[in-house]
Amino acid sequence: MPASPREAGIWWDASERRSVRSVLRFFGDPGQTGLVLSSLSPARRRFVAGTVGLVVLVAAVVAGTAAVRAVQSRGPEVTPVAQDAQPPVLLVPGYGGATDDLEPLAAALRAQGRDATIVDLAGDGTGDLNVQAGVLQRAVQAALRGGARSVDIVGYSAGGVTARLWMHAYDGGSVARRIVTLGSPQHGSDLASLASDIAPDSCPEACRQLATDSDLVRSLNSGDETPAGPRWVSIWTTDDQVSVPPETAVIEGALDFSVQSICPSRQVTHGQLPSDPAVMAMVLAELRRTPPALPSTSVCSVAAS
């Protein structure tokens, strides 16, 4: 008695079996040999049999490729951290690495009892953003060695791009609780593109990486823009003339809003984002124990008082 397909090591999954059935319906069911195949000449029957085998092989290859892609798309296993914690806050400067820009926000966080650290970027802050992601990783490790179980990250301008690079490179999904970005050119900036085109010698590596068509920008946005683990928040201003267009700050999957969607009459430039009282109130609200949510308009009146 001939071996069964399973015993012979020939066993197809459901999708492959459906493909085979479709082919057999077209050529005729071999279990009913008199329907189609028996009417063909021996040469034609050999041709049909070979065609069926080829189709089955193609179906198996396609199914296997899809399975590999599904496994690859899952990424690293993530264990989200507690959302009701109040961990240390790491503030990542923007292009140029100026820490003074973030001092007002760090002071506001400390006034609420939070542990806030401004990350010192490598070099003059205009080098490879992947290197800056490594600098952020060292700051994260220092916080964990100090007893923290998680961190909150606030990235201003290019610092928000650095935060996303860190998430991808260092599997930050099981470490970060919240990631808040401020006016970050997540999809590149037309300003960086212009600089890299007309004055490439004056556009350092980070500048070139922030061009809208850069390899870094394309790679960063080719998959999930907000990987699992932390809650993501993107705050930006319609008055931005550095991260342009301002909507470049929008990342799919984040709580996303402009300053003007909350405070319509408020004018906030790119450089004012980390120190504007209304924006600082928004950031503080998003870093509370409660889940991120659109802030109330009370942040506008509090800031004005």
The secondary structure of residue 9, as a DSSP letter, is T
Asked if 162 and 133 count as a contact pair (C-beta separation under 8 A), the reply is: yes
Asked if 101 and 275 count as a contact pair (C-beta separation under 8 A), the reply is: yes
Residues facing residue 187 across a β-bridge: none
C-alpha separations of 254 from 87, 178, 218, 284, 292 in Å: 20, 11, 19, 17, 10
| Residue pLDDT, tens place only, 140-178 | 999 999 999 999 999 999 999 999 999 999 999 999 999
Q: What's the distance, CA 293 to chain centroid? A: 20
Could you please state the CATH topology (level 3) that the domain comprising 89-304 is classified under. Answer: Rossmann fold (3.40.50)
Which residue reads 């071999």 in tokens?
Answer: 30
The whole-angstrom separation of Cα 223 and Cα 47 is: 43
Asked if 295 and 282 count as a contact pair (C-beta separation under 8 A), the reply is: yes
In this structure, what token pair is assigned to residue 48? Answer: 């049909």
Alpha helices, DSSP H only, in the chain?
Answer: 14-27, 42-73, 103-111, 129-145, 158-169, 190-198, 205-209, 215-220, 259-262, 277-286, 298-304
Q: What is the mean pLDDT of the chain?
A: 84
CB atoms within 10 A of CB 259: 28
Cα dihedral: 10, 15, 17, 19 (round 10): -120
| Residue pLDDT, tens place only, 38-59 | 555 555 555 545 554 554 444 4
pLDDT at position 14 is: 45
pLDDT at position 49 is: 52
| Residue pLDDT, tens place only, 246-304 | 999 999 999 999 999 999 999 999 999 999 999 999 999 999 999 999 999 999 987 55
pLDDT grade for 71, boundaries at 50, 70 and 90: very low
What DSSP string runs through 126-151? -S-HHHHHHHHHHHHHHHHHTT-S-E
The whole-angstrom separation of Cα 234 and Cα 256 is: 5
pLDDT at position 38 is: 52
Domain boundaries, the chain: 14-73, 89-304
In this structure, what token pair is assigned to residue 189? Answer: 């900036």
CB atoms within 10 A of CB 93: 24
Q: Does residue 20 surpass a pLDDT of 90?
A: no
The whole-angstrom separation of Cα 151 and Cα 117 is: 11
pLDDT at position 302 is: 75
The whole-angstrom separation of Cα 92 and Cα 153 is: 7
The whole-angstrom separation of Cα 285 and Cα 266 is: 18
